[in-house]
Chain A
Amino acid sequence: MRSSLRRSSLGRSNFGRSSLGAKLALFLLCLSLAFAVPQLLAKKKEKAPDSGANEQKRAVQALNRLTFGPRPGDIQQVTAMGVDRWIELQLHPEKIPDNAVEARLAPLRTLRMSSKELVDNFPDNGVIKQVKDGKRPMPSDPAKRAVYQVQIARLEEKQQQKNDRVEPAAAPAPAPVPTGPAASDTAKTEAELAAAAAASPDSTPGMAADGNGMNPTSSSSMSASNPPANEMAAAPPAKVKLSPADEAEARRREDRLYADLKVQGLIDLPPDQRYKKVMAMSSDEQVAFADSLRGGKGQDFVAGMDPKQKETLMAMNNPQGIVHDELMQGKLLRAIYSDRQLEQVMTDFWFNHFNVFVGKGPERLFLTAYEQDVIRPRALGKFEDLLMATAKSPAMLFYLDNWMSVGPNSMQALGIPAHPGPYGPYGPRRFPPPNPNAKRKQNSGLNENYGRELLELHTLSVNGGYSQRDVTEVAKVFTGWTIEKPYEGLGFKYDPRMHEPGPKFVLGHRIKPKGEDEGKEVLHMLATSPQTAHFISLKLAQRFVSDDPPAALVDRMAKTFQKKKGDIREVLTTLFQSPEFWAADTYRAKVKTPLEFVASAVRATGADVDDALPLARQIGNMGMPLYSAQPPTGYSMKADTWVSSSALLNRMNFALGLTAGRVRGVKVDAVQLAGGPPQPADAAVALSTMEAKLLAGDVSQQTHDSIMAQIEAPAKSAAANQPGKGPQDQGSQDKRAPQRKPGDVARPPDASTIAGLLLGSPEFQKR
Chain B
Amino acid sequence: MSITRRIFLRNSALAVVGTAAVPSFLTRAAFGAVEAGGRNKRLVVIFQRGAADGLNIVVPHAEPQYYAMRPSINIPRKSVIDLNGFFGLHPSLAPFQPLWQQKHLAIVHAAGSPDTTRSHFDAQDFMETGTPGVKATDDGWLNRSLHSMPRAAQDSAFRAIALGPSLPRILGGSEPAVAMNNINDFSVGGKNPKASPAATAFEAMYDHSSDSVLHGTGAETFDAVKMLKAADPGKYTPAPGANYPKGRLGDGLRQLAQLIKANLGVQVAFSDISGWDHHVNEGATEGQLANVLTEFSQSIAAFWTDLGDLGEDTVVVTMSEFGRTARENGNRGTDHGHANVMFVLGGPVKGGKVYGRWPGLDQSQLYEGRDLALTTDFRQVIGEAVARHMGNKNLAQVFPGYDNQPGKFLRVLG
B339 within 8 A of A: no
Given A446-B330, A762-B214: A648 and B209 within 8 A (CB)?
A: no
Given A446-B330, A633-B121: A645 and B220 within 8 A (CB)?
A: yes
Which of B26-34, B92-100, B193-201 has 4 or more CB atoms under 8 Å from chain A?
B193-201
Quick check: A706 and B197 within 8 Å, CB to CB? no
**Separation of A452 and B119 alpha carbons in the complex (Å):** 8
B window 107-128: CB within 8 A of A: 117-122
B window 175-222: CB within 8 A of A: 178-182, 185-189, 192-202, 204-206, 208-211, 213-215, 217-218, 220-221
Quick check: B211 and A766 within 8 Å, CB to CB? yes
Quick check: B211 and A745 within 8 Å, CB to CB? no
B166 within 8 A of A: yes
Quick check: A762 and B205 within 8 Å, CB to CB? yes
B336 within 8 A of A: yes
Given A631-B50, A762-B205: A646 and B200 within 8 A (CB)?
A: no
Q: Which of B117, B119, B209, B330 has the most CB of A within 10 A?
A: B330
Kindly provide the distance from the CB of A61 to the nearest chain B CB, expressed in whole angstroms. 17
Given A443-B330, A446-B329, A621-B181: A647 and B200 within 8 A (CB)?
A: no
**Separation of A746 and B274 alpha carbons in the complex (Å):** 44
B284 within 8 A of A: no
B72 within 8 A of A: yes
Quick check: A448 and B201 within 8 Å, CB to CB? no
Kindly provide the distance from the CB of A456 to the nearest chain B CB, expressed in whole angstroms. 5
From DSSP, what is the main secondary structure of chain B's interface residues? loop
Quick check: B217 and A645 within 8 Å, CB to CB? yes
> What residues of A have a CB within 8 angstroms of the CB of B119 in the complex?
452, 456, 462
A506 within 8 A of B: no
**Separation of A721 and B50 alpha carbons in the complex (Å):** 46
Interface size class of A (residues with CB under 8 A): 35 or more
Residues 146-175 of chain B, each 1 if its beta carbon lies under 8 Å from chain A, else 0: 000000000000000010111101001000
Quick check: B205 and A702 within 8 Å, CB to CB? yes
Residues 207-241 of chain B, each 1 if its beta carbon lies under 8 Å from chain A, else 0: 01111011101101100110000000000000000
Kindly provide the distance from the CB of A551 to the nearest chain B CB, expressed in whole angstroms. 15
> What residues of B have a CB within 8 angstroms of the CB of A644 in the complex?
162, 165-167, 178-179, 217
Kindly provide the distance from the CB of B372 to the nearest chain A CB, expressed in whole angstroms. 15
- Identify the closest chain B residue to A723 (Cβ): B194
> What residues of A have a CB within 8 angstroms of the CB of B329 in the complex?
445-448
**Separation of A120 and B109 alpha carbons in the complex (Å):** 48
Given A644-B165, A647-B165: A762 and B218 within 8 A (CB)?
A: yes
A404 within 8 A of B: yes
A278 within 8 A of B: no
Quick check: A649 and B186 within 8 Å, CB to CB? yes
Quick check: B202 and A745 within 8 Å, CB to CB? no
Partner of B201, one of A462, A653, A706: A706
Quick check: B121 and A462 within 8 Å, CB to CB? yes
> What residues of B have a CB within 8 angstroms of the CB of A449 in the complex?
279, 335
**Separation of A32 and B194 alpha carbons in the complex (Å):** 60
Partner of B213, one of A632, A633, A643, A649: A643
5 interchain residue pairs of minimum CB distance: A445-B330, A623-B165, A644-B179, A706-B204, A645-B221
Known: A623-B166, A631-B121, A714-B197. 13 other contacts (CB 8 A): A413-B330, A468-B368, A640-B213, A644-B178, A646-B179, A648-B218, A700-B210, A703-B209, A705-B204, A745-B189, A749-B201, A760-B198, A766-B211
Q: Measuring CB to CB, which residues of chain B are less than 8 angstroms from any residue of chain A? A: 49-50, 72, 117-122, 162, 164-167, 169, 172, 178-182, 185-189, 192-202, 204-206, 208-211, 213-215, 217-218, 220-221, 224-225, 274-275, 277, 279-280, 329-333, 335-336, 368
| Selected A-B contacts with CB under 8 Å, 9 pairs | A443-B332, A449-B279, A452-B336, A623-B164, A631-B49, A649-B187, A722-B194, A749-B197, A753-B198
